[in-house]
Structure 1
Amino acid sequence: MRKVSASALYMVIVIALVIGVICAALVAVASFYRLQHQKSFRFERLQHNLHSGMERLLANTDSTLSEGKSIDLYNDEQDSLLIQKYPWGMYDVGIVKAYKLQDTICSIFTIARTVDSAKWCALYLADEDRPLGVTGKTLIEGDAWLPAADVKSTYVDGKQYEGPKNIISGKTSRSKAILPELDKQKIQQIRDQFGRLNTPYNGTEINGIMTVPYDQNEKRINISKRLLTLTKGNIGGHVVICSDSTVIIDSTMQLHNVLIFAKTIEVKNGFKGSCQLFATDSIAIGKRCRFDYPSAAGIVRPDLYKVQVPVQIRLGNGTVFNGSLFTYEKQPDVLKPVIELGDGAQVSGQIYTPGYVRLSEKGNKIYGSVFCNRFLYRTAFSTFENYLINATISSKKLSPYYLTGNLLPVSDTKQQVLQWLERR
């Protein structure tokens, strides 16, 4: 019998060990790829389910989902959705969570409406039996709803009209004496926020960092009968600040999609951020401020005051506002509301007031639309009504992807994602 050397046996053991390691590695790799494939399949299925949930949510135009709704997609208790929608100022917040066994993905976004092309225009001037006069380098691009007295070039304060021969570049239609109404349900939602002053905050200043996810409970800060200053901080997310007095926003405070409700609101020079400001009396925005889209500033006055207090929104010199400016009075006062733009102030979005829009002599640019009863032009010696001087109002220069809230009368019924807030 032939003997086998010990070294040969050793080599056999080594080769067997190597083969075993290779086989084990192949099994591990196969198992890893199998797990990755299953994970990828689950993620794709979750993404598909999440998209289905978003379609359901965007198709829902009422407010019946504020408490959230769970849906078993395939009746197998494995694939489910949670969809929720609640009002957030002029817009709504949508939340969609898709579940697959232990896996979850979530999308949170603001919801807005597309613009109804049949209602959209650069200018809607209520018919008060007086024409619109244009002077200087005034430019109106887009459709316009005008009084029966129409529009004419004029000579005012030593200035003559220097614009295009066709003063209105788009189609003109006859306006009515009263502006198209704001959405009553949305106005009521905003009004309800002013009355929620339970458990007041005891301080007079808010600073530091505060961020609250939109799928968590609302962080509400209530201030009663005291001035509140927001300074040296960063606030964002599901945060609401409400006061029955004055709120001052310093330029050192950064706001991200926050809601603020107060009697009066003052924004200091140089502020930059995005927020929605709602007041019952006035909003004064300082010089060189920048409000990012989708911001809003609106006056909502639910009752007639015993003492006449004018409703006013003012943008300081050089301020850029990307969003919507509006005023609402349940019972119109003798003193008409005023939205005033300082020298060089620019708005990209919408202006709506059943009162006056006061523009600067040096010219303002409004990219979007203006709905108002009258324009005001004031010099040191006199005031002119329904005159535009060196003003640019252009619906064509607004982004074609612009979306609006259903509060304003040009909104369509179709809902779309306005802004992604959180995706995880």
Structure 2
Amino acid sequence: MHNESAASYAKANFENLKSYKQIRLFPNEKIETVFVKEKWGFFDKLTIISSLKKDSIRQDFLVANKRNKNTPALYLRDNDEDFKISGGTRINGDIFIPKKGLKTITIDNNSFEKPIHNGSVFNSQKVFPKHSELTIGYPENYELLDINEINEHSVINGFNEITKVIEVNTKLENLKLKGNIMVTSQDTLIISSSVILEDVILEAPKIIFQNGFEGSAQVFASKGVIVEPQVVLKYPSIITVGSNHIMEKSIIFEGESVFSGLVFMQGGGLSLEKQNTILIKEKAELTGEVYCDGTLSLYGIVNGSVFASALVHKTTTTAYKNLIYNGHILVDKVPGSFFQDSFFQPLDSEEILFVKKI
């Protein structure tokens, strides 16, 4: 009962908890409760410790804002052109698009499907709303390991232990990693299908999830991420590519890949719009939120929301700007209890969600 009360208190007072707070929830009880608030990648990590004499109970949670039901299906920057849908495109939910409006076009005479939008239409702004950069932030104390020093097939590190940082040359394989672990590489990091990950943070210039991988992770890359076919990145996963303004950057979801969480392409404004790209191929299915400060090509399914500075559909001969061809954005398919980035939070949404107990 006390643990439930402590969790309810944390939700109601989360913004005021800061990094450390010790209180007695009930004046007539002798139980002391400590709240410790830290970052774990994208998420806040909340630790609740309730103590009575020499006995204590500890709980750790990943915390984020709860998704607001009024979040739109699509936000597309106003670039003085109309927004076009074609083929089997389906959009369920409100959309923010350029002032020139929504247009249905036919570009494939062999297509017998008609594009559909169900929802209200609003005007977007000419400047794509910016987001503060998502960074990892290393803990003050951690244990640094080389992958070659690990002889076990499984490394499980609780969040009550010091963070383990594992350095990998190129490929991670035949290993289970769970909990308070960060994996880093100075080169392209390849995640084999033989790897099992849960709650782990990955950091490298480029990260590739090979065909058949299944697990959950927070991914921080500076150049790009490739999610191959038959990959399943479970809730609550994060993919973010940094805002390096020099190089081209990309996130690619191959067909039959599955993802649940947040996809975040950080850009550098309109001048770099074309070099920051996300490609969601046919039969790829994402649940959650896609933020692209760059150019998005959507042919698969997003069960959630899409925020993009630009959209493009490319054929062998032509590039169609502001067009979604055969892609689906279904904001009504997001599970009821799902986290949300703070980029587009309606004014009435400040509810805290305990995303996962870790």
Letter in 2 for 1:91: F
Mapping of 1:219-298 within 5 angstroms?
Answer: 219-222=164-167, 227-298=169-240
Structure 1 position 415 matched with structure 2 position 352 = yes
In the aligned structure 2, how far is the partner of 1:348 from the partner of 1:391? 14
State the match for 2:101 in structure 1: 150
Give the aligned CA root-mean-square deviation in angstroms. 2.7
In the aligned structure 2, how far is the partner of 1:330 from the partner of 1:153? 31
Letter in 2 for 1:177: K
Contact 1:90/1:405 (CA < 8 Å) preserved in 2? no
Q: Which of 237, 245, 265 is the aligned partner of 1:304?
A: 245
Mapping of 1:127-276 within 5 angstroms?
Answer: 127-159=78-110, 162-163=113-114, 167-182=116-131, 184=132, 187=133, 190=135, 192-193=137-138, 201-203=145-147, 208-222=153-167, 227-276=169-218
Deviation at 1:338, TM superposition (A): 0.7
**Bigger helix fraction:** 1
Structure 2: segments with no counterpart, 5+ residues: none
Deviations 1:56-108 (A, max 9, x none): 32234448644x43334456893111211211122111111111233322222
Structure 1 position 107 matched with structure 2 position 41 = no
* Change in CA separation of 1:150 and 1:139 when aligned onto 2, cut-off 3 Å: same
Quote the sequence identity (%). 23
Q: Which of 318, 332, 356 is the aligned partner of 2:256?
A: 318
Q: Give the greater-gyration-radius structure (CA).
A: 1
In the aligned structure 1, how far is the partner of 2:49 from the partner of 2:141? 32
- 2:44 alignment partner, SS class: strand
Deviation at 1:348, TM superposition (A): 0.7
Letter in 1 for 2:333: K
Q: How many residues align?
A: 354
* Change in CA separation of 1:59 and 1:336 when aligned onto 2, cut-off 3 Å: farther
Deviation at 1:418, TM superposition (A): 1.1
* Change in CA separation of 1:136 and 1:409 when aligned onto 2, cut-off 3 Å: same
In the aligned structure 2, how far is the partner of 1:365 from the partner of 1:284? 17
Contact 2:43/2:64 (CA < 8 Å) preserved in 1? yes
In the aligned structure 2, how far is the partner of 1:355 from the partner of 1:249? 26
State the match for 1:387 in structure 2: 323
State the match for 1:53 in structure 2: 6
Structure 1: segments with no counterpart, 5+ residues: 1-46
* Change in CA separation of 1:73 and 1:123 when aligned onto 2, cut-off 3 Å: closer
Deviations 1:104-153 (A, max 9, x none): 222221112122445x1001111011112211121110111011111111
- 1:413 alignment partner, SS class: coil
Letter in 1 for 2:283: G
In the aligned structure 2, how far is the partner of 1:338 from the partner of 1:208? 36
State the match for 1:344 in structure 2: 283
TM-score of the pair, normalised by structure 2: 0.89
TM-score of the pair, normalised by structure 1: 0.76
- 2:6 alignment partner, SS class: helix
Contact 1:377/1:383 (CA < 8 Å) preserved in 2? yes
Letter in 2 for 1:400: G
* Change in CA separation of 1:275 and 1:331 when aligned onto 2, cut-off 3 Å: same
Deviations 1:222-249 (A, max 9, x none): 45xxx33211111010111233322111
